Every structure is written in structure tokens, then in C-alpha cells.
Amino acid sequence: MGVYLNPGNKGFWRAIRSEIYVDKTGLITHTNKCLNTEEGFVCVSRPRRFGKSMALKMLAAYYSRGCDSRELFAKYRIARDNTFEKHLNQYDVIYLNMQQFLIEADSGKVTEYLEQEVLRELRREYGKYLSRQDMGLAAALREIYVETDRQFIFLIDEWDCVMRERQESEAMQKQYLDFLRNLLKDQEYAALAYMTGILPVKKYGQHSALNMFREYSMTNQKALEEYTGFTEDEVKGLCEQYDMDFDETSSWYDGYMFKKYKHIYNPRSVVEAMTCQDFSNYWTSTETYEALKIYIDMDFDGLRSDIVQMLGGGRVKVNTRSFQNDMRNFRTKDDVLTLLIHLGYLGYDSMAEETFIPNKEIIGEFENAMSVGGWSEVMRVLKASEKLLEDTLRGEAECVAKELDRAHMEVASILTYNDENALGSAIGLAYYSARKDYKLIRELPSGKGFADIVFLPLPHTDKPAMVVELKYDKSVSAAIQQIKDRQYTQALEDYAGEILLVGVNYDKGNPNKPHSCVIEKVEKGR
């Protein structure tokens, strides 16, 4: 076993010995199908701390020649697959962590250093076939394949670190992409190439060196949705095992959604919450909020309005197709939003083509980024939200209306009221502090329609539920009556206790007192 050639199974051994290991070995079934096919070039891009490196260690343990991993996999899902024995420890694996090469190599000589290190190990194993001292890595692998008929599996971690950390060096990026193309494309020795990163591969300027890769990204994970993070069932099992509340876990770490799996959880954060027995910001604590601030402060028309709308619990239409898959070249606000999707700061609904802030952990990071300047009016609304919630819970409708007037004045230059959807985002922003004790749900299907905003209390609180109906240029009495007529409280099917019915109307023709409010209390039994 070596560092780069056939690294063995120690990495996977450590993973399954950890306090929490969630079985993701079903991924191997997919990669086995890809072996020696046109689909044998797989690029999986996900945010940091979403299990990318762990997946590579698992694949290395399964495929690496020279070790016996049968017992390590015996009790996991892949062992029941009919391809398990066929490919187990049957390939030479080349494992490359590009972050390591970027750090250790002399400036600009990443690929030269990589070839030097991997060739050293290849010569130890296959030296008798490599008589020429000046041959490059691709030439050496071709020679080994011709002489031995042995194929290689390439596992490449942090493939895009050159693009992310050397953004200004286009020459270095092009040279790196050409190296990967020469190493992998149309090479018979390559049975499979599986690489991971944060960014997809296909649009670095005019250069399409790696167009043979099939991409699985945060905008479309295709067949790999289940392996992107923890599924809802997996998290429910962990919550039961660790006696942690599932609803609270969801409010903190759920929110990444795909076509089949509508609830994908951040795996690192869930593991930390379970083992520490505490809900907190685990994923965001691994990187400074300054990175997020750079992007949300960019001067693209409509970007600030979109951010405010999402802070209020709303969704924003986004065109992800114009993104150039780098962190430097932005032409529209959609490019910025798409990057934030890939970085994990935003969720994405591919069916509706909408983006949103996924959970409590991430919304806290937006608050941190905005608190250091440039968003003073929004921060004033957030700080005032505690009193607004208290007045609502006390049923002081007149005070609520006045505070909504003030909140509207603060964000009027950013978020324009032009319909009930914009009003809903502004109201959600004004009730920002409620997220500590409530799960905020926009457009919740209920009774004979959709409740505009529902505040569902989390288990640790004894606060009442709230159903908020919004009207634009109508009346608060109409809002309250609609809640009753359409039976919106039916949405709270597992809730019993006090419910506040909150009707809010915005009258654009009354600049002195645009908001009016009515609050009623009802009881709901089981």
C-alpha cells in the first residue's frame, strides 16, 4: 500500500469506527455500474463538510488492490449487492488530494510535483516496465497497462482547489485542466475517475478540457441525491438513538432539496448536534462569514432585494445556467446566487427553479455577514423583531401595526411592496427573532387553500402557534375571515393548544399608517 497508489482501507476503517457512521455504501453500486463505460467519469460537487472525502476513502477501501476489505463492508448495504465480490479489491487505485499538492508544490508547479510523487510509487510497484526515466505519468500508466492489462481507478479530492485558490492565474488553471484531460480522457487504463470538489467542471471560460465528466452538483445530484447528505429517515433514526428532538433538528439542519429527496440534511452538523447533545452552528463555524459577505455585498441590481426576501422566508427565481463555475467571473445576480447554492449557503428547488435560505444554521451566517456593515437598515429590523413578537403574543394589534410600519420604512429602499408575496417576505423579516422558538412556513397547504405564513412552535417552547393571513389593499377583517372560512388551522394537525389568528393588511394609499392588524385567539384540541 502507498500514499497515492492503493492507499488501502485505513481511512474507511476509521470512519466506521466513529461514534456515528451512516451507511452510504450504496454509492459503490452506482460506481460499479459506471466502470469501463462512457459514464465512468464522475464529478461530484458539494459544499464543504458534506462527506466528499469520506466517500473517496470508502471507494479506496473497496477498490484498492493489495488489501482485503471484505470484513469492513460485511454488515453494510453494498455487501448485499450482486456486484460486491466481482470488484472488491480488484483495481489499482490512484488517490490524489489536490489540496495537498497545491500546498506542498513550488508555486506554479502543482502538476509537476504530482507526477513526481505518484511516479515514485509506481516505480516501486512496476519499475521493471518503466525503463525510461523521463516519461510522464500518463505515459507510465499506458506502459503498465500494455504490459500487465491492469486498469486504474482515479479518486481525486478537492479537484477544483486550483480554480478556487488561484483565481487570478488563468494560465495555471488551463495547464492544470490540460494535465487532467491528458491523464484521463480516452485512456484505456482508466476504468473509472471519480472526483469531488465544491464547483462543477464544465464552464471555465472557453476551455472544456474535462467535458467527458458527468456532473452531480447542488443544482442537480441526479442519481446521487441519497448520498449528498443525510436523508430524513436517517436523521429520524439518529434523533431516536440520541434522544434529540427531530423537529428542532430539522429547523437547524434541513433544507437542501432535490427532485426525489426533498429533505437532505447537513451531515457534519447533524453528527455534531447528536454527539454534543446541543443544537448550534457547527458547519458555519468552520469558515469565516467574510466569504459570504463578499458575495452578498456585490453590486448587482436586485441582489440585495433577493437576499432580504429570502431572509423573510421567501423564495427567489434564479437562472443557474449562466454561471461560469468559478468564483471570479460574475455577470448577473443569478451567477452570485448560483455560487451561493454550490457553496451551501442557499438551497435550490430545481423543479420550481427557486432558491432560498435553507435553515436556522445558515440564516445565522447571513445575519453575521450583514452585521459588519452595509445592511444597517435590515439589522435594525432584525433587532426590533423581538418586541414585535412579544406584542403579537400579547394580542396588542395596534402596536404590531405600528412596528410593521417602522419595519417597512427601514427596508422600503431595498424591498418594494407590490403584492402579497413581497408583503409576506417583509413580514417574515419583521418576525425574524421568532425563528428561535418557531418553525416559519410560507404558503402552507391547509384546509381549502394555502396559509400565507404559519409559525409552528418548536417543542422546547410553550408559545402558541400563529397563523398569519396577509392582504394587500383590502382589510384585516377579510384576512381573519379567510383563515376561518378556509380552515387554515387544519394545517397544524399534530398541534394542540392556543392558536393566534393574525390578519395584516397593507394599504398603499395611506402613507401615514399603511399597516393594520387584528389578532384573535382560538383553541385547538387533538
pLDDT tens, residue by residue, 285-331:
555 567 788 899 998 989 999 999 999 989 999 999 888 887 888 89
Per-residue pLDDT tens digits for 169-228: 888 888 999 999 999 999 999 999 999 999 988 655 555 678 899 999 999 999 999 999
pLDDT > 80? residue 449: no
Nearest partner of 256 among 359, 409, 120, 115, judged by Cα: 359
What would the grid cell of residue 194 be?
Answer: 471519480
pTM of the shown model = 0.92
Q: Which amino acid does the sequence have at 176?
A: Y
For 353: left if phi > 0, alpha if psi spans -120 to 50, otherwise beta; the answer is left
Contact 298, 306 (CB under 8 A): no
In 3D space, the residue among 360, 323, 303 whose CA is nearest the CA of residue 220 turns out to be: 323
What integer pLDDT is reported at residue 447 of this predicted model? 65
Q: In this predicted structure, what is the pLDDT of residue 104?
A: 92
State the CB neighbour count (10 A cutoff) for residue 364. 17
The residue among 507 and 233 whose pLDDT is bigger is 233
Pairwise CA distance, residues 382 & 432, whole Å: 6
Spatial distance between the Cα atoms of 465 and 501, rounded to a whole number of angstroms: 9
Give the three-state DSSP class for 411.
Answer: helix
Query: 63-72, 227-236, 492-501: which has the minimum mean pLDDT?
Result: 492-501
Residues 28-32: what's their mean pLDDT?
A: 98
b/e burial code for range 37-69 (CB count within 10 A of at least 16 → b): eebbbbbbbbbebbbbbbbbbbbbbbbbbebeb
What is the pLDDT confidence band of residue 275, given thresholds at 50, 70 and 90? very high
- For the stretch 67-86, pLDDT in tens is 999 999 999 999 999 999 99
- Round to whole Å and give the CA distance between 210 and 121: 26
Question: Residue 424: its pLDDT value, please?
Answer: 86
pLDDT band for position 462 (cuts 50, 70, 90):
confident
Query: What residue ranges define each of the domains in the chain, with the CATH number in brackets?
Result: 10-216 (3.40.50), 228-374 (no CATH), 384-526 (3.40.1350)
So what's the pLDDT on residue 272? 96
Share of the chain above pLDDT 70, in %: 97
Helix (H, G, I), strand (E, B) or coil at 42: strand
With a cut of 60, say whether residue 121 has pLDDT above it: yes
Read off the pLDDT of each residue in 449-469 and give the average, rounded to a whole number.
Answer: 87
How high is the pLDDT of residue 108? 76
Instruction: Please give the Cα distance from 383 to 379 (Å, whole number).
Output: 6
Whole-number average pLDDT of the chain: 91
353-391 pLDDT, tens per residue?
999 999 999 998 999 889 887 899 999 999 999 999 999
